Amino acid sequence: MADASAPNRGGLMPALRAKLNLLMYTRDYWGICKSAGRAARMLATGQFGTVFQKLRINRHGPKSAGGFTPVRTGPPLYLAGHIHGHGGYDHVVLKTLVGLTASNVHVFRDARAFMNPKFVPDDAVPTERMYTFDEPRLAIIPPHLLYRFRPGARTAAWTMWETDTLPRGSVKYLNKCGLLLIPSQWGCDCFRSNGVTVPTEIVPLGYDPEIFSPRPPNNGPDICTYGTAGALDEGGLRKNVQRVIDLFVKAFPNNPDVRLKVKITPRSPMVKTHNDARIEVVNTSLTPAALADWYRSLTCYVNASYGEGFGLHLLEAMGCGVPLVSTTFSAVGEVFDASVGYTVGYTLIPAKNKIYSGMWADPDNDHLITRMREVFADRDTADRFGVAAAQRAPSFSWLEAIRKLTAALAKHGYLPAETPMIEKRVA
């Protein structure tokens, strides 16, 4: 067995590619310039060996307190996925790492994966060892980026998509895997219709009920407050945040007793608020606890997204006791329906941007406005929907998600059949 503490070995070009991939993934362009400057100064002064050594040392993964990894004896599983922050796939990778470790799975970090130590708890730090492609591995990444991990028969991929058509070229790499884990039946059906032939299992994502906990009944904000959120970079058209803003202004052109809160990521382009003082925009990173407080400050959450691979932010809002105004298209319909919120009609239209193709759902603007006005006119019904949403959400906790994940991996031979299911919270 290779020394788990040893740095990655290899030539200069593989090391350089790994370093560039890391910097490009984080989009730390200032970091790229600084790193290039430091390397140029070293090379100019003849420090060739130092530059080569810095490139060879594996700096992509976290280290536990004291600089060592805890001794683990559970079944091995490599984890291929990036942890750069709280949102998106990064969040799924982090929760999977914590959950698998709590299940006594010995998690190794795939050397191609970047894991920011800022976000990884000491007791979940993965072991460092180069992947050899003949051991079980779990990759968590969008279909069009799966090729970066060079999938093979011993790779299971937990992935999803937001339209009915997978990205060009992705099916080839999906079919190289031995197993696909998809969060919804809708997603499984779409993958099959696109030519995916390998085994699939439905494994929904989850949320943290202890953080995204419901507010007391009838304890919403005094002023009717709508909320919407999304990352608006890299295909952010899908979230339709600007449309929610525009429709809010149209629904309530002169009413002083309504508010709209908008949450976007720091890298997102700024939205247009029409100089409306009733609209508040937050474009900073929030901790999970702060995000939960943000949800609980809403009367309802408005989702005008064209499609969701799962809809984790919708589930988090439901967990906080906040009803949704949303379509039921895509995976959303397997978590949300008319018994826990306000459904919105839609029309299937072609997806047209640099990432997506195929068909997705265009929410009906008039119907969405009608639903927002219904919330304003009858707050008691909105509160009842919020209570129902909070009661449904815990069936999609991270605890349940990791249980289903380990069961699916065990069923297909990636983990032993006797792998214990975790009983404690996935922190």
Identify the structural domains of the chain with CATH numbers, from first to last. 8-59 (no CATH), 72-206+397-427 (3.40.50), 224-393 (3.40.50.2000)
Total-model pTM: 0.84
Q: How many CB atoms lie within 10 A of CB 281?
A: 16
Structure confidence by residue, pLDDT tens digits, 379-401 = 999 999 999 999 999 999 999 99
More confident residue, 38 or 99: 99
Per-residue pLDDT at 217: 81
Contact 296, 321 (CB under 8 A): yes
Per-residue pLDDT at 105: 96
Contact 182, 331 (CB under 8 A): no
pLDDT category at 94 given cuts 50, 70, 90 is very high
Distance in angstroms between the alpha carbons of the first and the last residue of the chain = 31
Q: What angle do CA 26, 28, 32 make, to 5 degrees?
A: 120
pLDDT category at 37 given cuts 50, 70, 90 is low
Q: How far is CA 39 from CA 50, 158, 168, in A?
A: 9, 37, 37
For the cut 90, the answer to whether the pLDDT of residue 299 exceeds it is yes
Q: Stretch 94-111: mean pLDDT, rounded?
A: 95
Structure confidence by residue, pLDDT tens digits, 247-284 = 999 999 999 999 999 999 888 888 999 999 999 999 99
Contact 193, 389 (CB under 8 A): no
User: Which letter does DSSP use for residue 69 in this model?
Assistant: P
Q: Which phi and psi angles does 156 have, rounded to 5°?
A: -105, 135
Selection from 114, 172, 112, 111 nearest residue 143 by Cα: 172
pLDDT category at 70 given cuts 50, 70, 90 is low
For the cut 90, the answer to whether the pLDDT of residue 40 exceeds it is no
Structure confidence by residue, pLDDT tens digits, 112-167 = 899 988 899 999 999 988 888 899 999 999 999 999 999 999 999 999 999 999 99
User: Which letter does DSSP use for residue 413 in this model?
Assistant: T
For the cut 70, the answer to whether the pLDDT of residue 17 exceeds it is no
Contact 56, 10 (CB under 8 A): yes
Q: Which phi and psi angles does 140 have, rounded to 5°?
A: -125, 105
Selection from 411, 83, 427, 133 nearest residue 288 by Cα: 427
Which residue(s) pair with 157 in the sheet?
A: 139, 180
SS (H, E, C) 7-44: CCCCCHHHHHHHHHHHHHHHCCHHHHHHHHHHHHHHHH
Q: Stretch 45-56: mean pLDDT, rounded?
A: 60
What share of the chain in percent tops pLDDT 70?
A: 81
Per-residue pLDDT at 1: 32
For the cut 90, the answer to whether the pLDDT of residue 343 exceeds it is yes
For the cut 60, the answer to whether the pLDDT of residue 60 exceeds it is no
Rounded-to-integer distance, Cα 404 and Cα 315, Å:
18
Per-residue pLDDT at 3: 34
Structure confidence by residue, pLDDT tens digits, 170-221 = 999 999 999 999 999 999 999 999 999 999 999 999 999 999 999 988 888 9
More confident residue, 375 or 39: 375
CA 204 to chain centroid, in Å, comes to 12
More confident residue, 219 or 1: 219
